[in-house]
A and B are shown apart, each in its own frame.
Chain A
Amino acid sequence: AQKVTQAQTEISVVEKEDVTLDCVYETRDTTYYLFWYKQPPSGELVFLIRRNSFDEQNEISGRYSWNFQKSTSSFNFTITASQVVDSAVYFCALSEAGVASGSRLTFGEGTQLTVNP
């Protein structure tokens, strides 16, 4: 069964600090997809990034970057130069690529990020 663990329940930083959100996953599939979603106080779920299991190249997109390491089953997400508007709950999620397709997303518990001015 698939599982996602976000060990950090809450993180508090001061504006302009860099912050890394940790995510560890478990899956028996060799092909899978990892996601980060943001849930601001307004409650909606906003897609941020997606990686597939056969591409470990780490990338930067604006102030966001991610570090995907299959060897440690980790998919960490970093926000550079954090801003108050980054304050939200961040969810890591996993999807296994099954034959039946339309595979469910399994979410972690979420990390509440608070960026203080």
Chain B
Amino acid sequence: EPEVTQTPSHQVTQMGQEVILRCVPISNHLYFYWYRQILGQKVEFLVSFYNNEISEKSEIFDDQFSVERPDGSNFTLKIRSTKLEDSAMYFCASTLAVLSTDTQYFGPGTRLTVL
């Protein structure tokens, strides 16, 4: 069964460093998403991406964040200058449909630790 994959599973970085989290969505899916989950808290939406551009972003997704689909399979989230409060689990998700009617399938997550 097709699934969303994410690399790395765990990333440790120093405050102020740039990190790139990688995702490979399900191959025929059209919409891609990033969410984050601070330890012990709920899952929060960051950004959605369709047709090579951001379709929606939350207030969390400030200028430190960017997303890109550099090729036909990868979808990346970049944090330019990490802060301690960026430590969280980051989930990538994808969905098949053009309309928001379909289920979002999540990857296993990348745990980001900022020291």
Q: Which residues does A use to contact B, with CB under 8 Å?
A: 33, 35, 37, 42-47, 50, 52, 91, 93, 95-98, 100-110
Contact = CB atoms under 8 A, between A and B. Distances in A.
B61 to A, nearest CB: 11
B55 A47 contact: no
State which size class the interface on B falls in.
20 to 34
Contacts of A106: 45
A97 B109 contact: no
Contact of A47 (B97, B99, B103): B103
B75 interface: no
A36 to B, nearest CB: 11
Contacts of A50: 103
A97 B108 contact: no
A44 B109 contact: yes
Given A45-B43, A45-B91, A101 B108 contact: no
Given A91-B43, A100-B55, A101-B55, A47 B105 contact: yes
Contact of A97 (B44, B89, B100): B100
18 contacts: A33-B101, A42-B108, A43-B89, A44-B109, A47-B106, A95-B104, A97-B101, A101-B55, A101-B98, A102-B31, A102-B55, A104-B48, A104-B56, A105-B33, A106-B45, A107-B42, A109-B42, A110-B42
